[in-house]
Amino acid sequence: MAKVPVHNGSLGGEQYVSGLEGLHQAFSVALGQPVYAPIDVSSKQLKILDSGCNTGKWLLDLASISAPVNHQYVGTDVWTEVFPGSLPSNFCFYEQDITKLWPESWKGSFDLVHQRTVLVNARKLPIRDVIIRMTDLLRPGGWIQLMEGDFAPVQQNGPAMQEFLELGKWFFDEAGPGSDMGPRLAGELSSIGLQDVQETTVLVSNGPDMSHPFSMDQLNTLEQRLRQELADIGGSIRYRVVWGRK
């Protein structure tokens, strides 16, 4: 697979890139650390993949806390325009769709595979097939860590945020792998034979800028109501983080 030249391009301009980085920051604050899987990133050199890496911030954060160990960092995404600019030689970025086969030479080569809020792009492809292909990339004893949304209501949310969650639930059910995808992840990892599977739930503060399909009035007013509600009382989305060992 050819390496994609890295640059500071944009997909939809600087505002789009800023939005990706803002979402990453919200995830980082909620999670507190990039890796929940019990893998030591501070000693021996590892090979680490971030699937759906966007701007590469997760890899960069991990490199920062892992220093002075120089791991081999690999990022993949379908949106190559948002890949970061010039980086050290131990960083590589490639174009890769999770619904496509991974390079044969990558199988059995990674110590840690990470993916966050990407499985919706599997569309109607069974997520088990996607996960199996990703675990095939792991060395024996390697870890996979996945994070996806859980659309269960959050008690402290207001009505506009709840409508936003209902929109996400509707979209995942209609066009994606199902709105129960996040809660299913731990079971999927166990069913394909991974060991030491664990799961935790995190609440992520969000201010998304999306519309809702249920009525024209909701569609036309959700952004304003959501912005006001977030300013007044805030809002959260629940996510499931799961990890398992090959």
DSSP-derived secondary structure for 118-151: -GGGGTTS-HHHHHHHHHTTEEEEEEEEEEEEE-
pTM here? 0.83
95 or 22, which is more confident? 95
Please state, in angstroms and rounded to a whole number, the distance separating the CA atoms of residues 133 and 136.
5
Confidence of residue 19 (pLDDT cuts 50, 70, 90): confident
Q: Which CATH class is domain 14-245?
A: alpha beta
User: Which among 69, 77, 63 has a CA at the least distance from the CA of 34?
Assistant: 63
Q: Report the chain's mean pLDDT, rounded to a whole number.
A: 86
The pLDDT tens digits for 42-55 are 989 999 999 999 99
Q: What is the pLDDT of residue 5?
A: 44
Reported as half-sphere exposure (CB side, CA atoms, 13 A), residue 33 has a value of: 9
Task: Among 27-41, 77-91, 130-144, name the most confident range.
Answer: 130-144
Token pair, residue 70, equals: 């120089």
User: Which among 239, 200, 218 has a CA at the least distance from the CA of 26?
Assistant: 239
The pLDDT tens digits for 195-206 are 999 999 998 875
Beta strand extents in the chain (DSSP E only): 47-51, 72-77, 91-95, 110-116, 138-150, 195-205, 236-245
Confidence of residue 212 (pLDDT cuts 50, 70, 90): very low
Q: Is the pLDDT of residue 208 over 50?
A: no
CA 185 centroid distance within chain: 13
Confidence of residue 218 (pLDDT cuts 50, 70, 90): low
Confidence of residue 7 (pLDDT cuts 50, 70, 90): very low
